[in-house]
Amino acid sequence: IGTLYQTRNRYDVAEKMFKNALTFRERTLSPQHLALAYSYENLGSLYQLQKKNEQAQACFKHALEITEKTLQPNRPEFFKRLD
C-alpha cells in the first residue's frame, strides 16, 4: 500500500504505511529476516525521492546489514539484493 501512495506522490501517507509495515515485521520476525531488509529498502527509497539523504542512507545501511547476515556472499540472491 505504501508503494501505491508513493507512486501518487502521497509521501506522507506512504511513509506512515512503510513505517507501520516495518514496525509489524520487527515485532513478528527475527532480526535477520529478509522481509525487514525489504521494509528498510522501501523506506529508504521513499526518503531518497524526498531528498532526505541521511535518512535514506541509514535505511539502506540497515537493509544491507540484514542482507549480509542472511545471504551467503557467493549466492546470486546476494548480488541481486545489492543492485
CB 66 within 8 A of CB 40: yes
Terminal CA-to-CA distance of the chain, rounded, Å? 23
Residues of the chain with pLDDT under 70: 72-83
DSSP 5: H
Q: What is the mean pLDDT of the chain?
A: 90
CA pair distance 72, 62, nearest whole angstrom? 17
- Report residue 37: phi and psi, to 5°: -60, -40
**Cα 83 to the center of its chain, rounded Å:** 13
pLDDT for 67 equals 86
Task: Judge if pTM exceeds 0.95.
Answer: no
Looking at residue 81, what is its pLDDT? 56
Query: pLDDT over 90 for what percent of the chain?
Result: 76
